[in-house]
């Protein structure tokens, strides 16, 4: 009974998607040995429920499917999405770095400033 509860409540957290899916699959395999196999549609829902907000974009269409995916298909989709998120994060970091570089022009970083005011006096 405890294993069933674990598999329904498992969360990805910060671990890589492959590690998360391996943990879910291991629990499902243990349950299959002790009791009976978990159907792919139930396993898919458990996985999607524990993914977190990073995977919201891909979880919604998977939930909306009429036919549930085999675990291997789900694995491939989620690993692909994780790679997409990494590329997106890398591209964003590069854009921020480039933007920071171009806004730091010589003389604008608090260096010497020249004053062009007229001197006082006759």
CA-to-CA distance for 72 and 74, rounded, in angstroms?
5
Q: Which residue in 49, 69, 54 sits closest to 7, CA to CA?
A: 49
pTM of the predicted structure, to 2 decimals:
0.73
Within a 10 A sphere around the Cβ of 27, how many other Cβ atoms?
Answer: 20
CA-to-CA distance for 34 and 61, rounded, in angstroms?
33
Phi/psi of residue 61, each to 5°?
A: -65, -30
| Residues of the chain where predicted confidence (pLDDT) is lower than 70 | 94-122
Within a 10 A sphere around the Cβ of 51, how many other Cβ atoms?
Answer: 18
Could you state, in order of their start, the residue ranges of all structural domains in the chain?
2-91
- pLDDT at 93 (0 to 100): 74
- pLDDT at 90 (0 to 100): 87
């Amino acid at each position: 009974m405890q294993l069933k509860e674990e598999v329904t409540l498992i969360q990805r957290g910060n671990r890589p998607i492959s590690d998360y899916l391996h943990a879910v699959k291991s629990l499902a395999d243990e349950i299959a040995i002790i009791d009976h196999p978990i159907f792919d549609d139930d396993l898919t829902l458990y996985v999607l429920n524990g993914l977190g907000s990073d995977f919201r974009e891909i979880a919604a269409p998977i939930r909306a499917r009429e036919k549930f995916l085999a675990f291997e298909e789900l694995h491939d989709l989620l690993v692909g999405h994780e790679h997409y998120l990494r590329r997106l994060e890398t591209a964003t970091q590069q854009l921020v770095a480039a933007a920071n570089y171009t806004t730091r022009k010589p003389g604008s970083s608090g260096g010497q400033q020249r004053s062009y005011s007229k001197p006082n006096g006759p």
